[in-house]
Amino acid sequence: MAVKKFYASDMRSAMKTIRAQLGEEAIILSTRKLVDGVEVSASADAGGMSGGAFSGDCDLDKDSSLNKRSQSNGQASMETPWYLNSISGFEEEHSALHNELGGIASLLQNWMDQQGWENYSIKSPVNAKLWERLRIIGLDSEQISPLLASLTPNQDIRTAWQHCLINFSAALPILGKDLIEDGGVFAFLGSAGVGKTTTIGKLATRYVLDHGADSIALITTDRFRIAAHEQLRTYGKILGISVQAVDESNTLESLLDALRHKKLVLIDTAGISVNHKSFEIQRKQLADLRDRLNPVLLLSTTSQAQVQAAELKAFSSLQPVASILTKTDEAVRLGESFGLLMSQKCPVAYTTHGQSIPDDIAIGESNNLISRAVALSRQRSITKDQVVAGFSSVQLNASKREIRETV
């Protein structure tokens, strides 16, 4: 039986190579951990295993288990040692072991978080209380730690909380002005239902009331949904402004050329799931014209944090100049949205808080947003595990930074 040795950086890569070269029924004979990876001996031939000569690290002739036979219904069967499992069986065992190790790692991390939190609560009871409040608001451990780092020791809880909120206000990225006031070309990004078209209607109405209808135009790029243009065209008709649509005869670039005399152009992009194949088509279309437009990302504060994070990541390559937090009147927690924007340093330009046009939109202000987040947090509670999640990792990283700064 011919035996081949395979070298790879890890077992998963080795299994992939063995499958490609020897097939699904290949036999794993031995594995060995190396300094820079693993060595796996395997064969595609299971025949002649009991007595034939072969090369490799395993001496099968000396393995007594190969000679153990049993009779069942008159047919002979051979007991197969662990190293003669097929690739599929080996990978099942490897996957089960990987999952078990992952579970152990999770339990260990939780234990470390709990132990670290107990010590922290004894050493800094005021900071521990503030940490809990910020976790209820929706911030994660990485975002909380810097807010508490500059607090003066031995402060009372009220004074410490005020200073913490001041730090929070400074950390929350805010544009601090009316984004469209000076004109420009703005492309509004976001998933379906986030409120792009309604937000454009609010901003367009406000602009027309202040500057008239002659210097503004609207564009829709949504060619993926039936009657997707109708709501925007209705706004345009009411306001008396031009509404153009990207189609087979009009590219976005050609429409921008035709409307270059307009002071303000608002582009309503299609609300497509980031996992849909059409998403990449639209993203590339906008990326090709990135130097001619300003992307603005809309995030619904009613969406789960994971959904908002996925959208922020998906649109990050377009480098949004600002963000708009929508549906803040319906949100049960705002801190998760704040935390994402803090990590990406994407400033809040506006918030929306209802369907009324043009009233239910406001320029983003950190004090108002944080006050709203704190008010919402008073209606919520979380478990101790949620409070301390990731605590030990943050403290370890902080200690490493202190050591580097000292050295």
Domain spans in the chain, listed from the N-terminal domain onward: 4-92, 124-171, 184-377
Residue showing tokens 């990590």: 343
Q: Is residue 99 classed as helix, strand or coil in its secondary structure?
A: helix
Mean pLDDT across the chain, nearest whole number? 81
Average pLDDT over residues 92-103: 66
In DSSP notation, 343-369 reads HHT--EEEEE-SS-TTTSEEE--HHHH
Average pLDDT over residues 377-406: 69
Cβ(171)–Cβ(147) under 8 Å?
yes
What per-residue confidence (pLDDT) applies to 223? 67
Residue showing tokens 């994402």: 340
Q: What is the pLDDT of residues 214-260, one digit of tens each?
A: 999 999 987 666 555 788 888 899 999 999 998 888 999 999 999 99
In DSSP notation, 170-195 reads HHS-B--S-TTTT-EEEEEE--TTSS
Cβ(135)–Cβ(305) under 8 Å?
no
CA distance 370 to 149: 19
Q: What is the pLDDT of residues 124-138, one digit of tens each?
A: 899 999 999 999 999
pTM above 0.85, yes or no: no
> Tokens representing 201?
């209607």
Written out in words, the top-level CATH class of the domain with range 184-377 is: alpha beta
Average pLDDT over residues 151-159: 88
Amino acid at 53: A
Q: How far is CA 293 from CA 183, 188, 224, in A?
A: 11, 10, 22
Q: Is pLDDT of 101 > 70?
A: no
Average pLDDT over residues 332-353: 94
CA distance 383 to 385: 5
More confident residue, 69 or 241: 241
The radius of gyration of the chain from alpha carbons, rounded to an integer in Å, stands at: 30
Q: How far is CA 168 from CA 23, 130, 148, 353, in A?
A: 57, 12, 9, 22
More confident residue, 273 or 367: 367
59-68, 152-161, 291-300, 375-384: the lowest-pLDDT one:
59-68
Spatial CB neighbours of 119, under 8 Å, sequence gap ≥ 6:
none
Task: Please classify residue 178 by burial: count the beta carbons closer than 10 Å to its beta carbon, then call 0-12 exposed, 13-18 middle and 19+ buried.
Answer: middle
* Phi, psi of 236, rounded to the nearest 5 degrees: -60, -40
Q: Is pLDDT of 14 > 60?
A: yes
Instruction: Report strand pairing: 216-220 vs 242-245.
Output: parallel
What per-residue confidence (pLDDT) applies to 84? 47
Amino acid at 291: D
Q: Is pLDDT of 67 > 70?
A: no
Cα dihedral value 201, 202, 205, 208, nearest 10: -100
Q: What is the pLDDT of residues 354-366, one digit of tens each?
A: 888 988 999 999 9
In DSSP notation, 130-143 reads HHHHHHHHT--HHH
Cβ(341)–Cβ(297) under 8 Å?
no
